[in-house]
Amino acid sequence: MAYTPQTLVPFRPPIAANSSAYTTLWDNHAELYALYSGVIGDHASGDTPLTTQLAFKALWRFTSRGGADFSATTGLKLKLTILATASGGAPGSTSGTIGITDSGPIASVNILVPAVSGDVSTYTITVNPLSVDAKWEIGHTVVTGRTITIWAWSAEWVGTDGNRAFPSGYRRGAANWKAANAPISTEGFGRLMKAPSAIATDRPCCVFSHFAAVGVAFGAPKTKEILEQLWGAYSGDYQRTAGIGLIPQCDSQARTYTVDWYFRSTGASVAKILIGGLEIAVPTQGVWGSATFTLSPGEHEISVAITPLVGQGAYFEALQVWRGN
C-alpha cells in the first residue's frame, strides 16, 4: 500500500504550538511507519513441479535480517506471496499445503486444484519472526498422487504500528505531546527527525536476490547444465564465473550494504562474491555467511566465482544484498 500524507500541505518553521499542525506531523509519522514494507527477496522458479511428498520439505531458504526483540505477538510480520497451481484430484479439492517456517510453527495455506484448467491462484501467508535474523525456509506438503507447482514467490515485511520501542529506538509519540497548546519537546522532535532512519533499520530492504531450491542440485545427477542454472559449477580445479546480476543505483552518495549468502558444496569447493570491484571470500559451505561493504553511487555488477573440486559440485542456494540505512 502506497503511503499518502494525511494533509498535503508542507510544514514550514516555525510550527505553531497547538494541536493542529503538530498532531498532523505525528499522524503522518505513525502512518508512514505503519504502512512501509521492505522487500526481502523474490524468485521465479519456472514450471518445475514439486513432486509428491508426505511431509513438509524445505525448498528455498532466505534470511530476513529481523530485529532482536521482535516477538510472535508484537514484532514485525513477514508476508510471503506465492503463485502456485496444483494438479491431481477433483477440481477445487485440497491438494496439499505450502508454508514457511523459521524453525518455529509452520504458517501455511491450502493449495487447491484449480477449478478451471489453466487457472493460477495467488496465496498470501503472514507469519511472525520468532528469532533474531530469522533464517526462513519455504516448503510444501502434497497429498499422495498429486502435484504442486510454484511459479514464483516474493517475501516482504508487513508494516506494523505499535507503542513500544522497536530495535531502532522508534516509538510513537505520547498522546499528551499532541495536546492543544502543549510544548514541543526535544525528544518528540527528535523522534520525528529520526523516523525515516528508524524504518530502514527495522525493515531493511533487499536490493538484489538470488535463490535456488535447497538441495536440488545434489538430488539429481551433478551435471554442468543443472548447476549452471543455480549459480553453481561442477568438477574442475580452476575458478569459473557461476552467476552474474546487477544491483540498481540506490542512492546519490556512497552507501553501506550487507550481503548474506548460503553456499552449498559436496566437497571442499571454495567461492567468492564480486560486487562493484570488491571481492568477498566464501571459504565455508553449508552455513550462512555475511559481509558489509560500501559502494559508490551507480549501478554495480554482482557475480560469483566458484572453484569446485574434481568430481564435486557447488552452488549458491541463497544470496541477498541489503541496502544500509
> Which pLDDT score, from 0 to 100, does residue 132 have?
58
The C-alpha atoms of residue 55 and residue 305 are separated, in whole angstroms, by 35
> Which pLDDT score, from 0 to 100, does residue 82 have?
86
CB 191 within 8 A of CB 171: yes
Q: What is the pLDDT of residues 11-33, one digit of tens each?
A: 555 555 556 777 777 777 777 77
For residue 290, the cross-strand partners are 260
> Which pLDDT score, from 0 to 100, does residue 261 have?
94
Count of residues in the chain:
325
> Which pLDDT score, from 0 to 100, does residue 157 have?
82
Task: Report the sign of the C-alpha dihedral through residues 199, 256, 60, 289, in that order.
Answer: negative
All CATH 2.60.120.760 domain ranges of the chain, comma separated, are: 39-158
Q: Which segments in the chain show pLDDT lower than 70?
A: 1-19, 46-58, 66-76, 103-105, 130-133, 160-166, 171-176, 178-184, 216-225, 228, 237
- E strand spans, 102-225: 107-112, 121-127, 135-142, 147-158, 205-211
For residue 108, the cross-strand partners are 99
> Which pLDDT score, from 0 to 100, does residue 79 have?
84
What is the CATH code for 207-323?
2.60.120
Q: What is the pLDDT of residues 97-123, one digit of tens each?
A: 888 877 666 778 888 777 777 777 888
> Which whole-number Å values give the CA distances from 265 to 60, 74, 226, 270, 295, in the listed order?
16, 38, 14, 8, 29
**Strand 135-142 relative to strand 94-101: parallel, antiparallel, unpaired?**
antiparallel
What backbone torsions phi and psi does residue 173 show, to the nearest 5 degrees?
A: -75, 145
Considering only the top CATH level, what class is 39-158? mainly beta
